[in-house]
Amino acid sequence: MCKIIVLIFFMIPKLLVLCDFTFPEIKLEAFEPKGLRVSIPEIENVRLFAFHGRRNRPLSQIEPGEFSKDIVNPKSNGWSYINPDLKLNVGDKVYYWAFIQHGMVRYVKDSQVWEVKELLPRSQLNVGSCTSSITEHIFDNFIDENKWKRAHFIAAEPDFEFCSYQKRNDTSYIKDGKLIIQPIAITKDEEVLGVLDLRNGCTSHRESDCYTYEDSGFILPPVISAKMKTNRNFKYGKVEVKAKLPGGDWIYPEIYLESASLPIRRVWIAYARGNERLIGNGGEDLGGSLLFGGPIFNFSEPERSKYLSSKKSNETFSNSFHIYSIVWEPTKLSLFVDDVLYGEIKNDIASLLNEPMHLVLGVGVGGIMDFPDFYVSSNNKRKPWINFERLSMKKFFRARQDWMPTWNEGKSSLIVEYAKIWAL
């Protein structure tokens, strides 16, 4: 049975639904020489179970934690998160918070702590001991949601893209054996007004990423796009993606590795802006013929670009398919395009990439991080917004008559023929 309460916050009515739901007991187990298993029993109508933890230091609900995982598919005996590489000792404490989506309602259990009393035999963890494995993602007929988690939320920090990522059949789909991720521009003023409610199936833990409304000059995101990540994480190995990058003003590909516990830590596999040309005051061209790759540890410039490598081409990377790959080792990260090495990160910097990651594929638009101010695009139109200004998204939307003609189906999509992961 549910109770519905209407509350008034700042003269805006909010609907609060209180249901008879009891958060299940969370079971934690530590293993020798290493390993952690977190589990809850199978419960009807649960759509997602997320766990965020940290060793020997308290953790607040807003922090991602030292290790974390979103589980979207239960096993036969319930929902479980396994971290085979986590080293725990008797007496260690795991501080954690957990999250469950039960139907359309979200429940959080925060400020929890568990102390390791014993270490169980590793044989009970049910994790294979292979030293190398390959996961090959061939897009034949459909997007396999046992392998991929499709994003469904409103873009926010750290990139603050001018789009929402929605799980729709017109933004991400399979065609002719290839994955298509197609951003869709909103064309009518009335479509960026009102409310955008993605709470049903939202894949973010923040309420503001699931529900927003037009207010005081702020509009709804004027582009609908798509993004997806692998359900499995891995640590060290090789990733190879054969793809044609998206073209069009103020579009960019999202092909990167992302830390499972700290999403601001990424490794770009293939990044080239969709603008055919993007010219600065000094004549430099940051357009689509300039490829970037490498690790990102901070989302503010100049630190954001500090460890990136680049390669200039005679044509834009949206014109044809290329094979983008990285080799990730404990002390070295190597970047390739079409089997040609164009960048290496070694020693102390590479060793910072020492945590499990997953592969992300998507298309981003605009935002406050990816396009420098005052640059001029290939149609001789200056970038229509200033990063970090209050109404940047609205100014981008108002200039749609300039950038929309550079988009078209096929050119503005990310097209992926395959993705392969060799995990060590």
SS in 3 state form for the chain? CEEEEEEEECCEEEEEEEECCCCCCCEEEEEECCCEEEEECCCCCEEEEEEEEEECCCCCCCCCCCEEEEECCCECCEEEEEECCCCCCCCCEEEEEEEEEECCEEEEEEEEEEECCCCEEHHHHCCCCCCCEEEEEECCCCCCCCCEEECCEECCCCCCCCEEECCCCCCEEEECCEEEECCEECCCHHHHCCEEECCCCCCCCCHHHCEEECECCECCCCEEECEEEECCCECCEEEEEEEECCCCCCEEEEEEEEECCCCCCEEEEEECCCCCCEECCCCCECCCCEEEEEEECCCCCCHHHCCCEEEECCCCCCCCCEEEEEEEECCEEEEEECCEEEEEEEHHHHHCCCCCEEEEEEEEECCCCCCCCCCEECCCCECCCCCCCCCHHHHHHHCHHHHHHHCCCCCCCEEEEEEEEEEC
Phi, psi of 209 (to 5 degrees): -85, -5
User: Does 132 have pLDDT greater than 60?
Assistant: no
Residues of the chain above pLDDT 90, percent: 65
User: Does 21 have pLDDT greater than 80?
Assistant: no
What pLDDT is attached to residue 352? 87
What pLDDT is attached to residue 311? 97
CA–CA dist 144, 138 (Å, integer): 10
What pLDDT is attached to residue 77? 67
User: Does 1 have pLDDT greater than 50?
Assistant: no
Partners of 326 in the beta sheet? Answer: 239, 335
Q: Are 203 and 153 in contact (CB under 8 A)?
A: yes
- For the segment 380-404, the average pLDDT, to the nearest whole number, is 95
More confident residue, 70 or 20: 70
- For the segment 333-349, the average pLDDT, to the nearest whole number, is 93
Mean pLDDT over the full length of the chain? 89
pLDDT band at 260 (very low <50, low <70, confident <90, very high): confident
Partners of 335 in the beta sheet? Answer: 326, 343
Q: Work out the number of other CB atoms within 10 angstroms of the CB of residue 147.
A: 13
Residue 379, both tokens: 């149609």
Partners of 323 in the beta sheet? Answer: 242
pLDDT band at 268 (very low <50, low <70, confident <90, very high): very high
Residues of the chain above pLDDT 70, percent: 92
User: Does 341 have pLDDT greater than 70?
Assistant: yes
- For the segment 246-258, the average pLDDT, to the nearest whole number, is 97
The CA-atom distances, in angstroms, between 386 and each of 35, 186, 376, 393, 394 are: 47, 21, 13, 9, 11
- For the segment 230-237, the average pLDDT, to the nearest whole number, is 91
User: Does 128 have pLDDT greater than 70?
Assistant: no
What pLDDT is attached to residue 126? 62
pLDDT band at 130 (very low <50, low <70, confident <90, very high): very low
Q: Are 137 and 418 in contact (CB under 8 A)?
A: yes
Q: Are 305 and 372 in contact (CB under 8 A)?
A: no
Nearest by Cα to 406 from 276, 291, 303, 282: 276
CA–CA dist 87, 92 (Å, integer): 10
What pLDDT is attached to residue 64? 82
**pLDDT, tens only, 165-177:** 999 999 999 999 9
User: Does 129 have pLDDT greater than 60?
Assistant: no
Alpha-carbon dihedral angle through residues 150, 153, 157, 160, given to the nearest 10 degrees: 100
Parallel, antiparallel, or unpaired for β 27-32 and 120-121?
parallel
Residue 422 Cα to chain centre, angstroms? 20
Number of residues that this document lists for the chain: 424
**pLDDT-wise least confident of 11-25, 139-153, 193-207, 266-280:** 11-25
- For the segment 172-201, the average pLDDT, to the nearest whole number, is 96
pLDDT band at 36 (very low <50, low <70, confident <90, very high): very high
User: What global pTM score does this model have?
Assistant: 0.73
Residue with tokens 């309420």: 207
**pLDDT-wise least confident of 197-211, 308-322, 345-359:** 345-359
Please name the amino acid found at residue 288: G
Burial of 270 (0-12, 13-18, 19+ CB in 10 A): buried
Q: Which residues contact 401 (CB under 8 A, 6 or more apart)?
A: none
User: Does 9 have pLDDT greater than 50?
Assistant: no
